[in-house]
Homo-oligomer: A and B are copies of this chain.
Amino acid sequence: MKISARNQILGKIVEVVKGTTTAHVKIDIRGGTIITASITNAAVDDLQLKAGGAATVIVKASDVMVGVS
């Protein structure tokens, strides 16, 4: 399936921590840049996410903010 979300970056899972209902998945999208995703435990199980696996970070454009120094 191809999806409308404008931001899709391939990376590698470096950590999966499951909570009681919500999991945090960390994905390395390049040397040193780690993206944290907060998703359901059910999604982690369904997609069989685990450290070392390839994964794509997906973010809708309307969820991206911009900061300037």
Contact = CB atoms under 8 A, between A and B. Distances in A.
Copies of this protein chain in the complex:
6
A3 to B, nearest CB: 4
Contact of A54 (B24, B35, B36, B68): B68
B54 A58 contact: no
Contacts of A56: 1, 66-69
Range of interface residues on A (Cβ < 8 Å):
35 or more
A25 B2 CA distance: 16
Interface string A33-57: 1011111101110111100011111
Contact of A5 (B33, B54, B57, B65): B65
B59 A65 contact: yes
